[in-house]
A = this chain, B = another copy of it.
């Protein structure tokens, strides 16, 4: 066969595996949105059976032979070509999967599917005891997986690498060392102004859910979400999932007495969705479809949520619409007060509702918890106490119950240990990428946002990031787009400038 033929044969084979992964993701979406509780057992059977089949197909002799043949026939490929990238990524996926025995893959699928159901129940009842045995099993499985994958420095590296290829626990530590002093400094400077420097009670009024939903959809549409290729539903934990660029789904959680939850949550998930909807059509059914890493993914959710959604020009454009949607609640609230309210810095218990300054402290806490749990430095039974102690240390608060503490996040229940640091990577990267976009667009992005013109920013991101899917690994992509590696400096400059302004700290920054 020619080079093109062997690569195409491999692609057809792997497209079937990808289709089965898409099917698995549909089952996961359904589990988190609509599945009745009675469906949990069979859902675990379904996802487990699919995982086994996918693993067999992805690691079987037929795939390996096709991959080897394609590699052999493609030695002369331009390394920057799509096909060369395809083979690199296919090889990486193959090698990672081939290390796992089928039995472990099946066990992981079953336990994380049932673990999600257990977490869901435990969180609703704020009963950590209901989730603890599952966490124990999930940690055990994660250790097994990490040992099979192998690592040089920390067991954590083997798990983190799945979400952020090439990143290590020591990189995460360096990242936090670089940003922690500024974060702590800002939190202290704000705290020194007293608890009433900003009044955010306007966010906690009575906001009709239907109106929240309608306004949210207007914003999601304005940002560029394509409703013919996606939808929005409700879920306990907001998320975005993509079965193909033609079917990208976001979920939202509405809180009647806290407007930001659904509002900024929707913008956040829209950011993820724009990335997935924007992957080039040439990668349909291809391993290069989808986002290149969770950190880059999160950079997009945070960019649209914070750099756009919590910005002054955005509310210059949208605040009159919001007031119209909620005349009783916001009719007499001045635009400047609204802007300050949504940007209030205040240590809080729930990560997904945290402000931009304290957010990374929530991640630091989770990162340290995960390392301690994985390395056995804390037992599953003692984990809530450690969680609460760290919450006290970093945020000065004590969770009144586990639902607002260790049970608040879905990730561990689904096996996502090593996932959290990508949130902080995303925070840093969101500013670095936004700056690059703004520079390329002649510094006009703020003015465009103030005119509800999201097209230029969206187009630039589409052109420089989204369309490439997984073609460039995260480090190559960031270098390519911004001319340098991941850099905390833009992020810290942004925080100092923004919150210096919000709190009138300009002299102290």
Contact = CB atoms under 8 A, between A and B. Distances in A.
Contacts of A24: 23
B26 A243 contact: no
A403 interface: no
Given A36-B230, A228-B36, A228-B37, A247 B22 contact: no
Interface in A12-62: 15-16, 19-20, 22-24, 26-27, 30, 34-43, 45-50, 52-53
A451 interface: no
Nearest to A277: B38
Contacts of A112: none
Contacts of A43: 243, 247
Contacts of A39: 229, 243-244, 246-247
Interface in A194-226: 226
Contacts of A27: 23, 26
B285 A15 contact: no
Interface in A456-494: none
A233 interface: yes
A79 to B, nearest CB: 29
Interface size class of A (residues with CB under 8 A): 35 or more
A394 interface: no
A227 interface: yes
A45 B15 contact: yes
Given A26-B26, A26-B30, A30-B30, A19 B38 contact: no
Given A34-B231, A53-B53, A231-B36, A42 B20 contact: no
A247 B37 CA distance: 8
Among A16, A40, A226: residue with most chain B CB under 10 A: A16
Interface string A368-405: 00000000000000000000000000000000000000
A232 to B, nearest CB: 10
How many chain copies? 2
A274 to B, nearest CB: 14
Contact of A233 (B34, B38, B40): B34
A132 to B, nearest CB: 24
A231 to B, nearest CB: 5
Contacts of A49: 16, 19-20, 23
A23 B113 CA distance: 14
Contact of A229 (B26, B30, B36, B243): B36
Contact of A16 (B15, B52, B230, B246): B52
A15 B285 CA distance: 29
Given A22-B45, A23-B27, A247 B38 contact: yes
Given A30-B30, A36-B230, A230-B36, A247 B42 contact: yes
A285 B48 CA distance: 13
Nearest to A244: B42
Nearest to A25: B46
B20 A53 contact: yes
Nearest to A106: B16
Contact of A45 (B41, B46, B230, B285): B285
Contacts of A36: 227-231, 246-247
Contacts of A226: 38
A190 B157 CA distance: 79
Given A36-B231, A39-B243, A53-B53, A46 B20 contact: yes
A45 to B, nearest CB: 4
A42 B22 contact: yes
A47 B19 CA distance: 8
Interface in A79-117: none
A229 B35 CA distance: 9
A229 B38 CA distance: 5
Nearest to A42: B244
Among A16, A38, A41, A246: residue with most chain B CB under 10 A: A38
Q: Which 6 A-B pairs have the closest CB atoms?
A: A39-B247, A38-B229, A38-B246, A42-B244, A19-B45, A19-B49
Given A22-B46, A23-B50, 4 more contacts: A23-B47, A38-B244, A41-B244, A42-B284
19 contacts: A16-B45, A19-B46, A20-B49, A20-B53, A22-B42, A23-B46, A23-B50, A30-B30, A36-B229, A36-B231, A37-B229, A38-B230, A38-B244, A39-B229, A39-B244, A41-B246, A42-B243, A42-B246, A43-B243
